[in-house]
Amino acid sequence: METVTRASLVEQIYQQVGLSRKESAVLLEDILETVMVALEQGESVKISGFGTFSVRQKGQRSGRNPKTGEEVPILPRSVLVFRPSQLLRAEVNHESLDAGVDDDND
């Protein structure tokens, strides 16, 4: 299985859009920067037909050290969540979507 990298995304933009490789790289970086800034500010990023990125806050909770069994506090933190759209789920699972499914809810 192959991994999609920034370089491979830039190459796809270059081949499909017709921008230069440098312009393609700048475009990709601008898009990724926009997504990162929105997430840092606590906004959700919804890409129709793909999915929604959001940041969720996890509160403090208790955990255990697996070696000693000692109870330790796990500090509050932010976690990045990706919720794929129904369309993406169907594509990954090689399924077809019914015509009546509204993808805007994902």
Fold classification of 1-43 (topology level)? HU Protein; Chain A (4.10.520)
The one-digit pLDDT tens for each residue of the chain (106 residues) are 899 999 999 999 999 999 999 999 999 999 999 999 999 999 999 999 999 999 999 999 999 999 999 999 999 999 999 999 999 999 999 988 764 455 555 5
Boundaries of every domain in the chain: 1-43
Ramachandran region of residue 23, left (φ > 0), alpha (ψ -120 to 50) or beta?
alpha
Q: What's the pLDDT score for residue 38?
A: 98
Residue type present at position 27: L
pTM (predicted TM-score)? 0.74
Distance of CA 63 to the CA centre of its chain: 27
